[in-house]
Amino acid sequence: MERDKQIQLYRLMWVIRRFEERCAQIYTTGKIDGYLHLYAGQEAVALGFISALQKGDYVVDSYRDHAHCMAMGTEPRYVMAELYGKAAGVSKGKGGSMHLFDIDRGFLGGTGIVGGGIPVATGVGLASRYRSSNAVCLCFFGDGALNQGVFHESLNMASLWKLPVVYVCENNHYAMGTSVERSSAVPKLTERASSYGMPTYYVDGMDLMAVHDLAVRVIADARQGNGPAFVEADCYRYAGHGAADPATYRTREEVQQWRQRDPIRIFEERLIADGVLTKEDAIALQQEAQREVQEAIKFAEESPEPDPDALYEDVYA
């Protein structure tokens, strides 16, 4: 990966981390309404995969979608404005945290339904085939989505038709508060997906470069017409399922153990060891990220509320 791209990804990891931390704080003030699902700890998965896409590719997401939207190029201030329910938000203040959408960048939205994006992504892959396009669709979802019937229906169809879809399961080990071991008779998720005749892969979701290297391969395969793939990215969310979840089902020792393998620290240590960054460079980029998030908050707070008549706009396509 080019030096400039590595630095850009490192900076964006910090933007996402600080963005999520500040969202958690703001949520307690009531300025962000509705549900709020935070992504801190999983940054390497979104950035590792999305950084391997080309212009014209697509992403379909789950409800934990802030990072993916920003990784696709949406400015943090428009994401924050959406969380505030403001007219300047990326979904005009109508979607909130779970329904970010930026068609200009190929980000086809989050969804509040567990596994709800999986058939949508499969449809995007079918559309790509109909149009004789080489566009690939990345589909992100959590481990709990594998227990939805639509997951199995979609993977079966995608494999039959060799659709250019890469299904990325962000296995953060808990579907809400239930561990994979308690919710899945086959906790090795790649085994469950392999029954649909597509290649399956496991990757360390805390290591951005490991994710990126795999993403380059599987996206290239899908683009060349070789059909879909399933990836289990082993990762961990630091916060609870939602911002209001105290996560008492996890031990403090478990969380601390995963924090020892923080994805930002792993990437930073690699960049410093390779001579891409100095420690001083890293600190300066962290400070830049902090300022960008502060500016995003200021933008959101100063943006106007949606006009009440906007309720009747965008109802029909």
Q: Cα separation of 301 and 181, whole Å?
A: 42
- How far from 33 is each of 22, 43, 96, 138, CA to CA, in Å? 14, 24, 8, 28
pLDDT in tens, 122-172: 999 999 999 999 999 999 999 999 999 999 999 999 999 999 999 999 999
Q: Which residues contact 135 (CB under 8 A, 6 or more apart)?
A: 56, 57, 58, 128, 164
Quick check: is 19 in a domain?
yes
User: Once rounded to an integer, what is the mean pLDDT over residues 252-267?
Assistant: 96
Quick check: is 45 in a domain?
yes
Quick check: is 314 in a domain?
no
User: Once rounded to an integer, what is the mean pLDDT over residues 179-197?
Assistant: 93
Q: Which residues contact 66 (CB under 8 A, 6 or more apart)?
A: 16, 19, 20, 23, 38, 39, 79, 83, 97, 100
Which helix (DSSP H) or strand (DSSP E) does residue 210 occupy?
helix 208-223
Number of domains comprising the chain: 1
Q: Are 38 and 315 in contact (CB under 8 A)?
A: no
**pLDDT at residue 14, rounded to an integer:** 98
Quick check: is 291 in a domain?
yes
Quick check: is 316 in a domain?
no
**pLDDT at residue 96, rounded to an integer:** 96
pLDDT in tens, 48-105: 999 999 999 999 999 999 999 999 999 999 999 999 999 999 999 999 999 999 999 9
Identify the domain containing residue 90 by its residue range: 3-304
Map tokens 């916060």 to a residue. 239
pLDDT in tens, 280-316: 999 999 999 999 999 999 999 999 999 999 999 999 8
Quick check: is 313 in a domain?
no
Which helix (DSSP H) or strand (DSSP E) does residue 142 occupy?
strand 137-142
Count Cβ neighbours within 10 Å for each residue of 182-207 and write b for 16 or more, e otherwise. eebeeeebbebbeebebbbbbbbbbb
Q: Which residues contact 47 (CB under 8 A, 6 or more apart)?
A: 9, 12, 13, 16, 67, 71, 208, 211, 212
Quick check: is 312 in a domain?
no
**pLDDT at residue 239, rounded to an integer:** 94
SS3 46: helix
Q: Which pairing describes strands 165-171 and 137-142: parallel, antiparallel, or unpaired?
A: parallel
Question: Hey, what are 295's tokens?
Answer: 């500016």
User: Once rounded to an integer, what is the mean pLDDT over residues 2-22?
Assistant: 98
pLDDT in tens, 208-255: 999 999 999 999 999 999 999 999 999 999 999 998 899 999 999 999
Quick check: is 309 in a domain?
no
Q: Cα separation of 24 and 194, whole Å?
A: 37
Inform me whether the pLDDT recorded for 265 exceeds 90. yes
**pLDDT at residue 94, rounded to an integer:** 94
DSSP string, 287-301: HHHHHHHHHHHHHHH
Question: Hey, what are 19's tokens?
Answer: 């963005």
What is the chain's mean pLDDT, rounded?
96
CATH code of the domain covering residue 132: 3.40.50.970
**pLDDT at residue 317, rounded to an integer:** 80
